[in-house]
Structure 1
């Protein structure tokens, strides 16, 4: 770990840094996984890629925990945890939670930011609550990350993104 990591609930003032973190994370994390030109175009304007209205909707939603990781007073990671069925995907059984998003600024990969976010997010679900996450099957780095945290494969799926349909792997812990 290169610095102290503070994990807290996202605030309205975090919007711009969250948008930038998400765009950078997608550009670097999905390089070679998604179509490069489509990825560059989709993430060119962070505010368009992750609109403010979407951020506010998620930040204010009941049953959805929106966390940020802060290092040196700057947002460097984002995690959304769905705590109820109104925000989980159909493959998640009743009574379970879902990590809906875990993204870290590439400059902080390997610093413990993602681990801190997932730890805080899963702590909020309770000890006995199963937690699910879905990851692009071609995202080997992401799959290794979840497995390193004790998540185990439990199924497969597909997701439609801006550049087409992609296979996913689902994990449970």
Structure 2
């Protein structure tokens, strides 16, 4: 496994990873049709390309030499004081093998001046919630619009200090 920055040539594979992971994770929560709507919007190729071009952000991948098995996207907010982890996804077959930890560590190292890292997580996603709690995150609030303004998707907001 190796970490690398995402590039435009990776976007189709990243989209496939996101669609697979979202269906595996959220079909039982939101239903297959709603998950398809979300992934068609949030994980479209133009949406992913916009992430590549966003300033003060990092879009990183874990590649096993054959395929992309994990991805993370984060940006600096609050004048660089906070890292907002927008996405961290690992293909279902590779979960529980350290890929998520590798991505989280890389994202954090990309923002050395940040004081905290924050994310939003669907509380019904028990596996993700447990992962983040094991990494020292605690709930600091909630949002009614997880992932995108106007989404109507509720989520917990988790945060922890960055490693100094």
| Equivalent in 68, 75, 80 of residue 68 of structure 2 | 75
Structure with the larger helix share: 2
Could you say if the C-alpha distance between residues 48 and 96 of structure 1 is closer, same or farther in structure 2, counting changes exceeding 3 Å? closer
CA contact (8 A) 1:66 1:78 kept: yes
User: Aligned partners of 1:51 and 1:167: how far apart in 2?
Assistant: 22
Runs of 4+ in 1 over 3 A off after TM superposition: 46-49
CA contact (8 A) 1:15 1:55 kept: yes
CA contact (8 A) 2:17 2:70 kept: yes
SS at 1:33 equivalent:
helix
Q: What is the match of residue 122 of structure 1? A: 108
Count of aligned pairs between the two proteins = 158
Q: What is the match of residue 165 of structure 1? A: 152
> Residues 12-69 of structure 1, C-alpha deviation per residue, up to 9 Å, x if partnerless?
1111110100000100111322123332x437xx777622222221112111111111
Could you say if the C-alpha distance between residues 76 and 128 of structure 1 is closer, same or farther in structure 2, counting changes exceeding 3 Å? same
The answer to whether residue 22 in structure 2 is matched with residue 19 in structure 1 is no
Could you say if the C-alpha distance between residues 37 and 55 of structure 1 is closer, same or farther in structure 2, counting changes exceeding 3 Å? closer
Q: What is the match of residue 91 of structure 2? A: 105
Given the two structures, how large is their TM-score scaled by the length of structure 1? 0.81
Q: What is the match of residue 52 of structure 1? A: 45
Relative contact order, higher structure (CA 8 A, sep 6+): 1
> Residues 93-142 of structure 1, C-alpha deviation per residue, up to 9 Å, x if partnerless?
86211101011111111111111111100111226521101101211111
The answer to whether residue 2 in structure 2 is matched with residue 9 in structure 1 is no
CA contact (8 A) 2:76 2:82 kept: yes
SS at 1:62 equivalent:
coil
SS at 1:138 equivalent:
coil
Given the two structures, how large is their TM-score scaled by the length of structure 2? 0.85
User: Aligned partners of 1:147 and 1:59: how far apart in 2?
Assistant: 28
User: Aligned partners of 1:169 and 1:19: how far apart in 2?
Assistant: 24
- Structure 2 regions of 5+ residues with no counterpart? none
